[in-house]
Amino acid sequence: MLAHMQQVLQRHQQDIGERIERELRSQVQASAQSTRQELGASFAQLQQTLATQMASVASLQNQQIDGFAQQLVKLNETNAQQLDSMRQSITLQAQVSREEQAVSLKRFGDTLNQQLSALTESNAQRMGEVRATLEAKIKDLQTDNAQKLDEMRKTVDEKLHATLEQRLGESFKLVSDRLDKVHQGLGEMQQLATGVGDLKRVLTNVKTRGTWGEVQLEILLEQMLTPEQYGKNVETVRGSGERVEFAIRLPGAKEEGEPVWMPIDAKFPKEQYERLVEAAERADADGVAAAGKELERAVRTEARTIAEKYLSPPLTTDFAILFLPTEGLYAEVMRRPGLSDDLQRSCRVTIAGPSTLSALLNSLQMGFRTLALEKRSSEVWQVLGAVKTEFGKFGEVLASTKTALERAARNIDQAETRTRQMTRKLKSVEALPADAAQKLLGAAEPELGESDEAL
């Protein structure tokens, strides 16, 4: 029974749904038809209204475009005049800047030429003085050499004349000639023996040996240094009464102060060195060792004497030079193990031979030249300071010129920016034909002044 009622209820619901659907469909169709009619009427009215508005808008837009085109033409002419005025102003400013730069450069060139002329004259004067001094010394040297050559020539002429007369006299007898030659040879041998004896006596005498070493040392100093750069018989320790043979004059700590002396003393321990050489020639090892110790002892004694007598810092350097006049003696002393280092450390004395002393004097001469150049460097710095001052003024002129050019460039950039903006605004505007544009621009020329004031 319930199942039957449910089926009846379902059918009844289906009928009701179908009836409602039919009524709704009929109502929707009627409403849609009326809506279409209303929309059609509205669209027709809207289309007519839009057509009327579009016509009025097109007319108004054409009028505005024509007015804007006229203003654009006037603006272009105004910009052209402004650009011409700016170009003339920039040209005038650039010309003024160039004239100022030319005047500054001329003033700087005149000042530099005057300073260079003064420096050239000073150098020429000093070079003339140096040249005159050198010529005088060379002239004296040539005169001395000429005198010595004349003396040698006279001696040679006398000897040749005597030999010629002797040979002419001896040519008469052969036996007499041979005897004379034998006697002459014996005489020469006797003279040679006499000369060797004299040399031995010279080298044996301590005072004479010292004088010979001093002469050789003086020759080296004269060859390597000027007379103003060293002194003879200098009392390096004040009040001591001890005078060193030679001392090199070094610049002191102050420009106006006293010089600093570097003592150089010549020593020649001949006896010890000869005993060493003789023992070496005899191949006597013990004698060589003993003579070497004696030589080393003598050198140490001389070094201590030099240090005690002649060193007094700061009036002198903290070391002295012990000059050995022969290379053989110098080599033998330097060959002793640790002798040179010990003398430098304990006595503050440096051993030097002829070659090493020449190298030392050469290095000192280069130092003297460097000091002379440093004294002249102040003049160079003064000239450079003047140049720096003139360049500072020139930089100020360039800075002002740069500022004026940057200001003009900014004005041109602003005008270019405004032109690009107007071009973008007119991008959608159709260009006029050339004839029409020419007529329009020609008609707008009388109103150019008023447009400039308005802009």
Q: Which long-range contacts (CB under 8 A, 24 or more apart) does 66-73 make?
A: 68/426, 68/429, 69/429, 69/432, 69/440, 70/440, 70/444, 71/451, 72/422, 72/426, 73/440, 73/441, 73/444
Split at pLDDT 50, 70, 90, the class of 223 is: confident
Q: Is residue 417 part of a domain?
A: no
Residue 432 has pLDDT above 80, yes or no: no
pLDDT at 227: 83
Q: Which two tokens stand for residue 85?
A: 């005025």
pTM of the complete model: 0.39
What is the percentage of the chain residues whose pLDDT exceeds 90? 0
Closest by CA to 299, choosing from 328, 331, 327, 340, is 340
Q: Is residue 251 part of a domain?
A: yes
pLDDT at 245: 84
Q: Which residue range is the domain that position 308 belongs to?
A: 210-393
pLDDT at 210: 45
Q: Is residue 310 part of a domain?
A: yes
The phi and psi torsions of 410 (rounded to 5 degrees) equal -65, -40
Residue 454 has pLDDT above 50, yes or no: no
Q: Is residue 40 part of a domain?
A: no
Residue 197 has pLDDT above 70, yes or no: no
Q: Which two tokens stand for residue 359?
A: 């190298």
What is the percentage of the chain residues whose pLDDT exceeds 70? 74
pLDDT at 351: 87
Q: Is residue 236 part of a domain?
A: yes
Q: Is residue 275 part of a domain?
A: yes
- 106-110 average pLDDT score: 84
Query: Per-residue pLDDT tens for 23-57?
Result: 778 777 877 787 888 887 877 788 888 888 888 88
Split at pLDDT 50, 70, 90, the class of 193 is: very low
Q: Which two tokens stand for residue 27?
A: 């109502």
Least confident of 252-256, 310-314, 335-339: 252-256
Split at pLDDT 50, 70, 90, the class of 378 is: low
Q: Is residue 137 part of a domain?
A: no
Residue 353 has pLDDT above 60, yes or no: yes
Cβ neighbors of 102 (< 8 A, separation 6 or more) are none
Residue with tokens 């004479």: 208
Least confident of 125-134, 351-360, 389-398: 389-398
Least confident of 127-141, 291-305, 372-386: 372-386
CA distance 255 to 249: 13
> Dihedral through CA 335, CA 338, CA 344, CA 347, nearest 10?
-110
Q: Is residue 339 part of a domain?
A: yes
- Of the ranges 22-36, 260-274, 343-357, which is most confident? 343-357
Number of domains in the chain: 1
Residue 452 has pLDDT above 60, yes or no: no
Q: Which two tokens stand for residue 231?
A: 């002194």
CA distance 163 to 171: 12
CA distance 236 to 243: 7
CA distance 259 to 246: 14
Residue 446 has pLDDT above 80, yes or no: no
Residue 158 has pLDDT above 80, yes or no: no
Residue 296 has pLDDT above 80, yes or no: yes
Split at pLDDT 50, 70, 90, the class of 199 is: very low
Split at pLDDT 50, 70, 90, the class of 120 is: confident
